[in-house]
Amino acid sequence: MKLYSGVDVARSLVCDDCWNGLFARENFQDVWANPGFFFDSPTTKPYTYASTWDRIDQSSRAGCNWCSLLLSSAKSNKLYDYPDDEESSLRSRYLEIGVAFKPPSYDGKVLIGAQRVCVQIGNFELFVYPLYTFSDDPCANEVLARDRIRRMKSAETCRLALDHVSHCLNDHSVCPKPPQVRLLPSRVIDCTDPERPRLYITGGDVDGSYVALSYVWGENQPNKTRRDNLDAYTREISVSLLPQTTRDAIWATKAFGEKYLWVDALCIVQDSKEDKHREIAKIPTIFANASFTIIAARSAKASEGFLHDCPPPSVPIRRLPFPCKEDVDRFGTMYVEQDGNSGFDDDSDVNDPVHKRAWCLEERLLSARALVYTSNTLRFYCQRTRVNVNDAVREMHDLSTHRLGIEWMPAPDDEPFDPREESVFDYNRNTTLWDNIVHNYTGRTVTQVEDKLIALAGVASRFSVRWKKGEYLAGLWLDNLQHDLLWHVANGTLLPRPREFRAPSWSWASVDSPVEAAKLHPYETPLYELRGYRLDLASDILPFGGLAAAFLNMRARLLEAVWRNDGLYAYPPRGNSSSASMTSNNKHSETESKIYYSWRDTTEVCDGNVWLLPICWRAKSDELLGLVVVSGEGPEYRRVGSFRDFPGWLSKDSALELSLQDVTLI
């Protein structure tokens, strides 16, 4: 259905002032032909005119879409907040309004940022909104972005999505390519007949292509593969037994021209611990080697599905005339999406359920390519590009500020390097990358307590290869231990410590709260000596997975402190501190010093006497950073928090003069 019919329709969209001003052909094409990224850019030639809020208000009430856009944006920015009976003269004061357009953004030949309309009131930038039109509109060759795809179960939608996959495979040198010999996973779903799917047991030695599914379980799946139905599923799986998300994935696999699909609930024997460990260990390869991953981002549980149509945008859409360049009698219509998120595509799916499940982060990061079914539209992700399918783009953040905070993932065939020999820039980038992954991951939910490390094991194994097989210590890296030990709970979100052991207290995996890493600092003096460590794996098949026990042996300094409701207080050092010198009834006559920053790890009550275990001293800023620990049996200590303090009660020299003692962190 056409949404335009020439000059009459275009004329009806705005008032006389706007039609004869900004949208007059010569005026409009003059400013459209001279876009720039800033108003003061030499290439930018804005169109300026004068009006009043009273006049804009009247035109808005009369149905002018442009004046309505100005007025609503002004109200949201508190520029139009004048009472009817006071300061009414301000509404009749003339304003200088500047209008300019920003050019599109490309990644190679791929459109990643729409053209945008920018408005200034005086020196105040009122808004920058993206523009789009429909493919059959007369201005489609000038306005490049399109409306978001909302019909998910469509052959045309699948075709458009595959265009992005093909472009990535053919033109993206930075994106991993499928191996020449690509073995199917141990089990896949044969989707040749979507109404009669079956489980195909390959034995791990059959070559072929497949797609993988990443989704939120959100509920029990009673018909998942078990030992008692495995044989029956190899003959046929009744679609009536499957949750809607799996049914949708089977339909999509066939529609995309693929034969095989990998879904964890069906391709892993869920009541076999041995099979789960063996198949989970293969997850990095399964997602990396898939033709692409289908991510059911919009579904909170498996029974919801993801191929139902997306709702229309909740933000106002303004339809405006577009005087075409080549024909004086030709008018199109363009659309302004008045997005409260400034039109950034990265923000459009921020609340989708997939961002709440821990397993889904690993599946996303390990996938070379992904088609993401969000609440708003269908998107394509790869190592280089993140865009809405069919040029339905608004604007992308730079990849370094993508909402995941993750620029890239080391590919399986990347050249490994030694972090001890890399440049400061590379060290900072790679360390920050891991820190961002941990921060994002720990903000997600893990249903099974034992999965806390397992659900990130694939990402850790990829990093291990990238970092020359660096030792992985329960979520921390041996070559970066000084930095990694200094994590702290983010935003004061304290939760109880899990009752069952899954990680040592010094690991972020021992808590259920989201965590943040300490900020990187170029000049640090270590204040401890690592003497050894021990990790007892829960399963030898998962070297980056769960643990049965773990500890660090170190020579460290200990300082007496007390944790009260209003903060952490340190006592002045008293010679050679030792755990024997402090009891719960110990009284100090010396002045206490309040630690500037302190973070508890959990809701555990540890008010009273604790120990400060300094980790490092930062030059220039003169900061002392370390752990807060409580004593156990003999030399054993358990972490309960961390701290960061500025100079005052303890100097660097005084800290170094303290005697070292044997400490076992458990």
**Secondary structure string (H, E, C) spanning 173-231:** CCCCCCCCCCECCCEEEECCCCCCCEEEECCCCCECCCEEEECCCCCCCCCCCCCCCHH
Asked if residue 145 lies in contact with residue 394, where contact means CB atoms within 8 angstroms, the answer is yes
**What would the pLDDT profile of 237-269 be if each residue is shown by its tens digit?**
999 999 999 999 999 999 999 999 999 999 999
Cα separation of 645 and 622, whole Å?
A: 9
Name beta bridge partners: 121: 97, 124
**What would the pLDDT profile of 153-170 be if each residue is shown by its tens digit?**
999 999 999 999 999 999
| Interacting residues of 537 by C-beta distance below 8 A, sequence separation 6+ | 543, 545, 546, 547, 548
**What would the pLDDT profile of 62-113 be if each residue is shown by its tens digit?**
999 999 999 999 988 877 655 555 555 677 889 999 999 999 988 888 888 8
Q: How far is CA 316 from CA 88, 150, 239, 338, 340, in A?
A: 28, 17, 40, 5, 10
Cα separation of 299 and 399, whole Å?
A: 25
pLDDT at 460 over 60: yes
Rounded to the nearest 10 degrees, what angle do helices 457-466 and 358-366 cross at? 40
**Would you state the pLDDT for residue 536?**
97
**Would you state the pLDDT for residue 621?**
81
**What would the pLDDT profile of 7-58 be if each residue is shown by its tens digit?**
899 999 999 999 999 999 999 999 999 888 666 666 677 899 999 999 999 9
Cα separation of 200 and 98, whole Å?
A: 63
Report CA torsion sign: 82, 85, 86, 90: positive
**What would the pLDDT profile of 500-517 be if each residue is shown by its tens digit?**
999 999 999 999 999 999
| Beta carbons within 10 angstroms of residue 39's beta carbon | 16
**Would you state the pLDDT for residue 114?**
92
For a pLDDT cut of 70, what percent of the chain falls above it?
A: 87
| Interacting residues of 662 by C-beta distance below 8 A, sequence separation 6+ | 553, 554, 555, 635
Cα separation of 419 and 368, whole Å?
A: 24
Helix (H) / strand (E) containing 594: strand 593-594
Residue ranges in 496-541 assigned as alpha helix (H): none
Report CA torsion sign: 354, 282, 507, 622: negative
Task: Tell me the three state secondary structure of residue 291.
Answer: coil
Confidence of residue 586 (pLDDT cuts 50, 70, 90): very low
Asked if residue 538 lies in contact with residue 546, where contact means CB atoms within 8 angstroms, the answer is yes
**Would you state the pLDDT for residue 57?**
94
Average pLDDT, whole number, for the chain? 88
**Would you state the pLDDT for residue 421?**
57
Cα separation of 280 and 287, whole Å?
A: 11
Report CA torsion sign: 434, 435, 439, 445: positive
**What would the pLDDT profile of 380-435 be if each residue is shown by its tens digit?**
998 888 889 999 987 765 443 343 445 455 555 555 555 555 555 566 777 888 99
Q: How far is CA 351 from CA 306, 346, 399, 509, 563, in A?
A: 15, 11, 19, 24, 37
Place of tokens 């001279």: 34
**Would you state the pLDDT for residue 406?**
54
**Would you state the pLDDT for residue 652?**
84
**Would you state the pLDDT for residue 89?**
63
Residue 42, both tokens: 């030499």
**Would you state the pLDDT for residue 588?**
46
pLDDT at 648 over 90: no
Confidence of residue 342 (pLDDT cuts 50, 70, 90): very low
**What would the pLDDT profile of 318-328 be if each residue is shown by its tens digit?**
999 999 987 77
Asked if residue 485 lies in contact with residue 615, where contact means CB atoms within 8 angstroms, the answer is yes
| Interacting residues of 611 by C-beta distance below 8 A, sequence separation 6+ | 558, 559, 560, 561, 579, 582, 628, 629, 630, 631, 637
Cα separation of 502 and 400, whole Å?
A: 32
Cα separation of 1 and 274, whole Å?
A: 57
Cα separation of 524 and 509, whole Å?
A: 25
Instruction: Name the CA dihedral angle for 170, 175, 178, 179, rounded to a multiple of 10 degrees.
Output: 110
Confidence of residue 605 (pLDDT cuts 50, 70, 90): confident
Asked if residue 371 lies in contact with residue 293, where contact means CB atoms within 8 angstroms, the answer is yes
Q: Please state the length of the chain.
A: 666
Task: Tell me the three state secondary structure of residue 21.
Answer: coil
Residue 118, both tokens: 């920018």
Asked if residue 26 lies in contact with residue 325, where contact means CB atoms within 8 angstroms, the answer is no
| Beta carbons within 10 angstroms of residue 6's beta carbon | 12
pLDDT at 3 over 80: no
| Interacting residues of 145 by C-beta distance below 8 A, sequence separation 6+ | 104, 111, 114, 115, 130, 131, 132, 133, 391, 392, 393, 394
Residue 64, both tokens: 């002018």
Instruction: Name the CA dihedral angle for 184, 188, 191, 193, rounded to a multiple of 10 degrees.
Output: 120
Confidence of residue 582 (pLDDT cuts 50, 70, 90): very low
- Compute the half-sphere exposure of residue 110: CA atoms within 13 Å on the CB side of its CA: 25
Cα separation of 366 and 371, whole Å?
A: 13
Cα separation of 201 and 233, whole Å?
A: 10
| Beta carbons within 10 angstroms of residue 105's beta carbon | 16
Q: How far is CA 453 from CA 54, 121, 331, 458, 544, in A?
A: 61, 53, 59, 10, 7
Q: Rounded mean pLDDT of 655-665?
A: 93
pLDDT at 217 over 50: yes
Q: How far is CA 375 from CA 74, 149, 310, 441, 560, in A?
A: 29, 11, 6, 21, 53
Cα separation of 568 and 595, whole Å?
A: 6
> Which is more confidently placed, 574 or 480?
480
Of the candidates 610, 628, 604, 619, the one whose C-alpha atom is nearest the C-alpha of residue 653 is 619
DSSP tag of 314: S
Confidence of residue 175 (pLDDT cuts 50, 70, 90): confident
Cα separation of 356 and 444, whole Å?
A: 5
Residue 61, both tokens: 């009430």
DSSP tag of 268: S
Question: Taking phi first (over 0 means left), then psi (-120 to 50 degrees means alpha), and beta for anything else, what does residue 451 get?
Answer: alpha
What is the chain's alpha carbon radius of gyration, rounded to the nearest angstrom? 30
